[in-house]
Chain A
Amino acid sequence: MTKQNVIILKNIHVGYFEQKIFEDFSCEIPSSQMVGIVGANGSGKSTLLKAIMGLIPNQSGSIEIFGKTLQEVRNRVAYLPQKDSIDWDFPASVLEVALMGLYKEFGLFGKVTKQHKEKAMLYLEKVGMADKAKKQISELSGGQQQRVFLARAFAQEADLYLLDEPFVGVDVATENLLIDLLKNLVTAEGKTIVMVHHQLSTVSKYFDYLLLLKEGKIVKKGNIEETFTEENIQETYQFIK
């Protein structure tokens, strides 16, 4: 049975300044799967997520999410940016960061209630960070920071999660905990996870569907069994035999 596509990109053109990353790029991402995006540095993995989220303007072509524009379904999408785009020195507590995930409930000017805080605490508990709620985000280790950020993403209660390298600087135990939580979202709740991932050793264990990118083009896409082959990986990373 073919699954419905959750994201459809048609002939998009995306780039920074005069440098084009994607030219006439099209692709579909199926729903209710763990989707991995893999490729060498500069292949356009993060840019692809940013383009989907409208963070880099798409010069032509179209991007559909759940058959609609991003603007119409923004509340159903959660995005976790790359770690280095965040100002870790900012004086924010762990609870305040988790609360950001409930933005759609209180907006910019609404009151943050006790219920909001309880809900944020619930998600912090899920990632094992509830006891650190009052700590400053800057005081945490890299792995703990990523846990909090995933708690924030979970708090968004989205249907589609776009995660840009969520396991950078995370220890193995934390990674196992987080991947279990993510897989549970897919299997138990039918959510879709699209994740940029670097560790080739865990690809076959984590993902159902794979998108192999090279210099802004798709090398291969499809079910993990068909795509994650020695030959495709070599082509993606230009390994010399």
Chain B
Amino acid sequence: MINFWYVLAGGVLLAIATAIVGVWLVLRKEALTGDVVAHGVLPGVGMAFMLYGVKDMMILSVGAAISGFLSLYAMHTLERHTKLKKDTIMAIILSFFFALGLWILVKIQASGNSGVSGLESFLFGKAASILPKDILFSLISVLLVVFINLFSKRWLFYTTFDTLYSKSVGIRTDLANHLLTFMCILTIVAGLQSVGVVLMSAMLLTPAGIALFLSKKIKRQNLNTLFILSIFLNISVVIGGTSLSYLYPKTPTGPWIVVVCSLLALGLFTIKNKKSNS
């Protein structure tokens, strides 16, 4: 039972951070960027483990952050210097980093290092293996994300809404992008253990997408409503998903959360669309 509360606490913390970052990603029409970073962190996690040989979240996070930034840097460089469409570039970068990450993880597992067990959980998440120190790490990440969001809300608002105007009054739009990237990486690293890289984008984007949809329907579109709705939805699905995995033993929490979240989205979209068609 104690483990259930650990998983729930970790999940709720992660839900708050992903909900906030997700709203910005959806508003900036950069939903896939979250996916790129989520997959982009994998080689960094592997490399950090290779170098230090221990599964310490702090060390792995540094590797993840470097590799996540590199994936975005590669994406932006290709965008600037080629005429390829953004989605093509994203697909290339995402698969390259993911493949590289898998290659490194397989290599590590073949090495027979005793500390290697559990590294594979970074792919699909393994919430049941959450430890109090992981929760502490999530707590720090969430506090940082919440603080940065409060501090930079106007910055992100102006640069998202009207980039050219923002630049014209001297606002650093590039720094705003970096700030969001930092929040994104922080959140993804916090969720590595419980949700994993593959399913992370669902947790980042689905509640934010639902929140945007609902706020339009209830005609209460403002940033604060979006954040509150997104956080509330994300916490609800985390509670739902965690409870389901507890009720049906030996079923994974991360996928449960994502399935619950996606079904909720599908249900809401269908009901609302039916209502508006009738």
Query: Which positions in A face B, CB cutoff 8 Å?
Result: 17, 50, 53-55, 71, 74, 77-81, 85-87, 90-93, 96-97, 100, 103-104, 108-109, 136, 138, 152, 156
Please classify the interface of chain B as helix (H, G, I), strand (E, B), loop, or mixed, using the class held by over half of its residues. Answer: helix
In the complex, which residues of chain B have a beta carbon less than 8 angstroms from the beta carbon of A92?
157, 161, 222
Could you list 6 further interchain pairs (A-B, Cβ under 8 angstroms) beyond the known A81-B162, A93-B222, A100-B165?
Answer: A53-B167, A81-B168, A87-B161, A103-B158, A103-B169, A108-B152
In the complex, which residues of chain B have a beta carbon less than 8 angstroms from the beta carbon of A17?
83
Inter-chain contact B167/A86, CB cutoff 8 Å: no
Inter-chain contact A55/B162, CB cutoff 8 Å: no
Given A100-B162, A108-B154, A108-B155, decide whether A90 and B27 contact each other with a Cβ distance below 8 A. yes
In the complex, which residues of chain A have a beta carbon less than 8 angstroms from the beta carbon of B158?
100, 103, 108
Inter-chain contact A74/B169, CB cutoff 8 Å: yes
In the complex, which residues of chain A have a beta carbon less than 8 angstroms from the beta carbon of B243?
none
* Bound CA span A147–B151, Å: 30
* Bound CA span A82–B168, Å: 13
Smallest CB–CB gap between A104 and chain B, Å?
A: 7
Chain A residue at minimal CB-CB distance from B27: A90
Inter-chain contact A85/B223, CB cutoff 8 Å: no
Please classify the interface of chain A as helix (H, G, I), strand (E, B), loop, or mixed, using the class held by over half of its residues. Answer: mixed
Inter-chain contact A90/B160, CB cutoff 8 Å: yes
* Bound CA span A74–B166, Å: 12
Inter-chain contact B162/A91, CB cutoff 8 Å: no
Which residues of chain B from 190 to 223 have a CB within 8 Å of any chain A CB?
212, 215, 221-223
In the complex, which residues of chain B have a beta carbon less than 8 angstroms from the beta carbon of A77?
168
Query: Which positions in B face A, CB cutoff 8 Å?
Result: 27, 29, 83, 151-152, 154-155, 157-158, 160-165, 167-171, 212, 215, 221-223, 225-226
Inter-chain contact A79/B160, CB cutoff 8 Å: no
Inter-chain contact A86/B221, CB cutoff 8 Å: no
Inter-chain contact A85/B221, CB cutoff 8 Å: no
* Bound CA span A152–B161, Å: 14
In the complex, which residues of chain B have a beta carbon less than 8 angstroms from the beta carbon of A53?
167-168
Q: Out of B164, B171, B222, which one reaches A85, CB within 8 Å?
A: B164
Given A91-B226, A103-B158, decide whether A108 and B171 contact each other with a Cβ distance below 8 A. yes
In the complex, which residues of chain B have a beta carbon less than 8 angstroms from the beta carbon of A86?
161-162, 165
Smallest CB–CB gap between B46 and chain A, Å?
A: 36
Chain A residue at minimal CB-CB distance from B161: A90
Inter-chain contact B222/A91, CB cutoff 8 Å: yes
* Bound CA span A71–B161, Å: 23
Task: Name 22 A/B residue pairs within 8 A (Cβ), A-sorted.
Answer: A55-B167, A71-B170, A85-B163, A86-B161, A87-B29, A87-B160, A87-B162, A90-B27, A90-B160, A90-B161, A91-B212, A92-B157, A93-B222, A100-B158, A103-B169, A104-B169, A108-B154, A108-B155, A108-B158, A109-B151, A109-B154, A136-B221
Q: Out of A79, A90, A91, A136, which one reaches B168, CB within 8 Å?
A: A79
Chain A residue at minimal CB-CB distance from B152: A108
Given A90-B27, A93-B222, A103-B158, decide whether A79 and B164 contact each other with a Cβ distance below 8 A. yes
In the complex, which residues of chain B have a beta carbon less than 8 angstroms from the beta carbon of A90?
27, 157, 160-161
* Bound CA span A74–B225, Å: 34
In the complex, which residues of chain B have a beta carbon less than 8 angstroms from the beta carbon of A100?
158, 162, 165
In the complex, which residues of chain B have a beta carbon less than 8 angstroms from the beta carbon of A74?
168-170
* Bound CA span A110–B217, Å: 32
In the complex, which residues of chain A have a beta carbon less than 8 angstroms from the beta carbon of B171?
103, 108
Smallest CB–CB gap between A120 and chain B, Å?
A: 14
Chain A residue at minimal CB-CB distance from B224: A91
In the complex, which residues of chain A have a beta carbon less than 8 angstroms from the beta carbon of B164?
50, 55, 79, 81, 85
Inter-chain contact A85/B167, CB cutoff 8 Å: no
Inter-chain contact B221/A138, CB cutoff 8 Å: yes
Smallest CB–CB gap between B162 and chain A, Å?
A: 5
